[in-house]
């Protein structure tokens, strides 16, 4: 039976989950995969943590050199997170010819070409399923299940923290602040929630997933990013009344005018399968030219779901030796020639405060018409103090035209304010 030695760099939540799966299911993997996988060592400063998980003290390395010089280690699992020291460790492992499995989305989003180039040079494997959408095998699906397709779009709820917050706001009418506090209390959001709520985490993942989907490197700088901190419970409520659910979506589209990649709060029509993905669940919806619509749904984070992706990569690497997915060795790939769309087209949900008089709405409609923004639906929500909230949903329009129209609309007598402009996917 083939023996596989694994070293785990970092025994935090995901490292601990990975260790547990590899040790608990050791016999199962012998039977089902024909692989005898052993965790040979771990690199972890907190030796007590390592010992409490079940490692012997002698298995706890104190330097990356100890790990990469161990001939029994075939596969190095990096689950430290962040750029450094993870990057140095991963490069040293690759330079030693070890295959690397990582969950590190930030590292991959920022330094993928450099890592891949080193892996290729040394004929070492490099796998990163766990970097995106936790246990959901979305990268394997893109690389090994949908190769027949030119992918037209990828849309995902790829951050569980924000989805938990938005679900809570929708179901319980909470404010953003209230929902964030509850998410922090339950451990879904960190004390400093910036990476999640400002969309950085989703941006890293969308950068990786859209690179794979569109066969070209999408840098994080190419991703338009907006977080959920400005989302109001009024918008969620009015959206609900019109049949839409607010989600933080990562959206990648390969259009005739170029590639479009963006992370922002988005209203999703309730009959879209993404609308019913709730709480901390994640989902990715893909359209391919052959397969049509596909959606994958599951847990995007957590010790065991992310550990599941790590171990899946360990097994994949062990069974497909000398198999390397190379993204950047072909002149058709790489982002030199990639054209990005700067003026998105989308449907829009627009909320205005206007004076309750019949003439105002007709003036607003007139300005939209002049800018070729076609209106799909108007809802005058309720009256209060002569100030009326009006929600307008447009047909698909260029964002520049919508913005120009709104600049003019702000000047209309009887329009008090433009309160929200939120993109919408039906």
Q: What's phi and psi for 103, nearest 5 deg?
A: -105, 10
Q: Provide the mask over 179-218, with x wherever binding to its own copies is found by CB under 8 A and - wherever it is not.
A: ------------------------------------x---
- Interatomic CA distance for residues 30 and 294, integer angstroms: 33
With CB under 8 A as the contact rule, the residue among 97, 298, 366, 398 that binds its own copies is 298
Q: Check residue 252 for interaction with its own copies (CB under 8 A).
A: no
The one segment of 76-84, 197-205, 305-313, 418-426 that binds its own copies by CB under 8 A: 305-313
Residue with Cβ nearer its own copies (8 or 136): 136
Sign of dihedral through CA atoms 419, 199, 251, 138?
A: negative
Of 4-12, 74-82, 295-303, 384-392, the window that binds its own copies (rule: CB under 8 A) is 295-303
Give the residue from 133, 409, 139, 150 showing the smallest Cα distance to 283.
Answer: 133
For the question of residue 155 being annotated catalytic, the response is: no
Instruction: State the helix-helix crossing angle for 160-172 and 233-241, rounded to 10 degrees.
Output: 70
Q: Which is nearer to its own copies, 204 or 214 (CB)?
A: 214
Closest to its own copies by CB, 137 vs 252, is 137
Please identify which residue in 202, 315, 354, 424 interacts with its own copies, judged by CB under 8 A. Answer: 315
Least gap, CB of 363 to its own copies (angstroms): 41
Comparison of 146 and 189: residue with beta carbon closer to its own copies: 146
Of 47, 297, 414, 419, the one binding its own copies (CB under 8 A) is 297
Q: How far apart are CA 314 and CA 311, in angstroms?
A: 5
Handedness of CA 379, 347, 136, 68 (dihedral sign): negative
Q: Identify which range of 160-168, 195-203, 304-312, 413-421 contacts its own copies by CB under 8 A.
A: 304-312
Question: For residues 151-189, b (16+ Cβ closer than 10 Å) or e, as one string?
Answer: bbbbbbbbbbbbbbbbbbbbeeebebeebbebbbeeebb
Per CB under 8 A, does 359 bind its own copies?
Answer: no
Rounded Cα–Cα distance for residues 62 and 85 (Å): 13
Shortest CB 225 distance to its own copies, Å: 27
Residues of span 394-423 touching its own copies by CB under 8 A: none
Among 2, 3, 121, 319, binds its own copies (CB under 8 A): 319
Site for its own copies in 264-283 (CB under 8 A): 273, 276, 281
| Given 87, 155, 205, 253, the catalytic residue | 205
Chain centroid to CA 19? 25
Among 12, 13, 25, 335, binds its own copies (CB under 8 A): 25
Cα distance between residue 175 and residue 336, in whole Å: 43
Q: How far is the CB of 286 from its own copies (least distance, A)?
A: 9
Q: Is 137 in the site for its own copies (CB under 8 A)?
A: yes
Residue 399: exposed, middle, or buried by beta-carbon count in 10 A (0-12, 13-18, 19+)? middle
Question: Measured from the CB atom, is 31 or 57 closer to its own copies?
Answer: 31
Q: How far is the CB of 134 from its own copies (least distance, A)?
A: 8
Q: Does 154 bind its own copies (CB under 8 A)?
A: no
Q: How far is the CB of 200 from its own copies (least distance, A)?
A: 25
For its own copies (CB under 8 A), the number of binding residues is: 56
Neighbour tally for 345: CB within 10 Å: 18
Strand 292-299 vs strand 345-355: parallel, antiparallel, or unpaired?
unpaired
> Which are the contacts of 291, defined by CB distance < 8 A and separation ≥ 6?
146, 148, 149
Q: Which of 101, 38, 116, 103 is nearest to 73 (CA)?
A: 38
| CA dihedral for 154, 80, 301, 226, sign (positive or negative) | negative
Q: Where on the phi/psi map is residue 258: left (φ > 0), alpha (ψ -120 to 50), or beta?
A: left
401 token code pair: 């035209």
Pick the binder of its own copies from 48, 293, 383, 407 (CB under 8 A). Answer: 293
Which residues belong to the active site? 205
Which chain residues interact with its own copies by CB under 8 A?
17, 21, 25, 28-29, 31-34, 129, 134-137, 140-141, 144-150, 215, 273, 276, 281, 288-299, 302, 304-305, 307-312, 315-316, 319-320, 323, 330, 332-333
């Amino acid at each position: 039976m083939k023996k596989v030695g694994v070293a785990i760099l970092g025994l935090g939540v995901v490292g601990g989950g990975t260790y547990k799966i590899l040790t608990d299911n050791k016999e199962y993997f012998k039977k089902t995969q024909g692989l005898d996988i052993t965790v040979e060592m771990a690199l972890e400063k907190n030796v007590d943590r390592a010992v409490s998980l079940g490692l012997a003290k002698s298995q706890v390395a104190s330097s990356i050199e100890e790990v990469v010089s161990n001939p029994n280690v075939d596969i190095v699992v990096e689950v430290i997170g962040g750029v450094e020291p993870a990057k140095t460790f991963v490069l040293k492992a690759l330079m030693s010819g070890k295959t690397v499995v990582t969950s590190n989305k930030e590292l991959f989003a920022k330094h993928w070409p450099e890592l891949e180039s080193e892996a290729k040079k040394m004929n070492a494997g490099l796998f990163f399923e766990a970097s995106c959408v936790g246990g959901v095998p979305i990268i394997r699906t893109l690389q090994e299940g949908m190769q027949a397709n030119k992918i037209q779009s990828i849309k995902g709820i790829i951050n569980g923290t924000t989805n938990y917050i938005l679900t809570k706001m929708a179901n319980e009418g909470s404010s953003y602040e209230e929902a964030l506090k509850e998410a922090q209390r339950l451990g879904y959001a960190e004390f400093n929630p910036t990476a999640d709520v400002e969309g950085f985490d989703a941006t890293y993942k969308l950068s990786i997933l859209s690179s794979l989907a569109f066969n070209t490197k999408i840098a994080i700088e190419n991703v338009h990013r907006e977080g959920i901190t400005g989302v109001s419970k009024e918008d969620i409520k009015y959206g609900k009344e019109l049949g839409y659910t607010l989600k933080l979506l990562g959206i990648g589209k390969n259009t005739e005018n170029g590639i479009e990649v963006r992370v922002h709060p988005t209203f999703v029509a309730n009959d879209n399968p993404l609308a019913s993905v709730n709480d901390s669940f994640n989902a990715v919806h893909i359209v391919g030219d052959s397969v049509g619509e596909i959606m994958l749904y599951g847990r995007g984070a957590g010790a065991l779901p992310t550990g599941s992706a790590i171990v899946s990569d360990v097994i994949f690497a062990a069974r497909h030796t000398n198999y390397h997915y190379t993204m950047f060795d072909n002149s058709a790939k790489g982002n030199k020639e990639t054209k990005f769309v700067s003026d998105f087209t989308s449907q829009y949900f627009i909320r205005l405060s206007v004076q309750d008089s019949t003439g105002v709405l007709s003036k607003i409609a007139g300005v939209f018409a002049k800018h070729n923004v076609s209106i799909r639906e108007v809802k005058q929500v309720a009256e209060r103090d002569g100030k009326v909230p009006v929600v307008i949903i447009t047909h698909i329009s260029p964002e520049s035209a919508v913005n120009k129209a709104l600049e003019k609309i702000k000047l209309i007598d009887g329009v008090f304010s433009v309160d929200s402009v939120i993109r919408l996917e039906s």
